[in-house]
Amino acid sequence: MARILIVEDEARIASFVAKGLRADGHTTTVATTGEDGLDHALSGDFDLMVLDVGLPGIDGFEVLDRLRNQASRLPVIILTARDSVADTVTALEGGADDYMPKPFRFAELLARVRLRLRTAGSAAQAADDALKAAGVHLDLRTRRASMGNREVDLSAREFALAEIFMLNAGQVLSREQLLDQVWGFDFDPGSNVVDVYVGYLRKKFGAETIVTVRGMGYRFAT
């Protein structure tokens, strides 16, 4: 059972989401303004947040930005009527774990909630809030990466990809698995976004850190 924060000012939608999550065995708290949502999110009392963008006071993007600036790793699923590519990119590069446009199907939202909770649970088990593999060190608390004494600058999406790789170091991960766990929403199956971001990480960590397994996917070295 997880503790889920719903930050949504539309009472009908908040009630619908809360009821469905409670039916799945979770406990829910609803906040209706950006300020209240941020206060709850920073309390450390929740395992995941479902966050609307169009909120009274500070909007969802600002809530997310302040949350990540406080080094919070609380998983965040953006749920909003804004569905432009620019808004999607803003949310994901700002540190959101997933993005769902309204209207939405609750079954899909629930599947994404379960996925984010599993991923967060795996990360939380990492010793000392850190991951180490192939000479790369990820600090999950501060969201910083380094190699030796050199800090490596990663975007939010690059960090998320590196985190999934290092949680599964030595194991082969398919492109589909990486799309699902890092991007969290449907891409064109022919999209090369995984290959592009793998290329970014290879440039920053070294080509030998991520091995291509032909016909299967990628493996992060141990």
Q: What is the pLDDT of residues 100-148, one digit of tens each?
A: 888 888 888 888 888 888 776 655 554 457 889 999 998 877 888 999 9
- Is the pTM value of this prediction over 0.75? no
- Kindly report, as residue ranges, where domains of CATH 3.40.50.2300 are found in the chain: 3-123
Q: At what angle do helices 60-69 and 34-41 cross, to 10 degrees?
A: 30
Token pair listed for 182: 């890092």
Class of domain 126-220: mainly alpha
DSSP per-residue string spanning 104-166: --HHHHHHHHHHHHHHHHHHHTSGGGEEEETTEEEETTTTEEEETTEEE---HHHHHHHHHHH
**Is 3.20.20.140 the CATH number for 3-123?**
no
Q: What is the pLDDT of residue 72?
A: 87
Parts of the chain with a pLDDT under 70: 83-84, 120-128, 184-190
What pLDDT is recorded for position 124? 54
pLDDT of the residue at 86: 73
* The predicted structure's pLDDT at residue 36: 96
Kind plus residue range of the DSSP H or E element containing 46: none
Q: Where in the chain is the domain with CATH 1.10.10.10?
A: 126-220
**Side-chain half-sphere CA neighbours of 111 within 13 A:** 11
> Could you count the other beta carbons within 10 Å of the beta carbon of residue 162?
26
- pLDDT for 127: 46
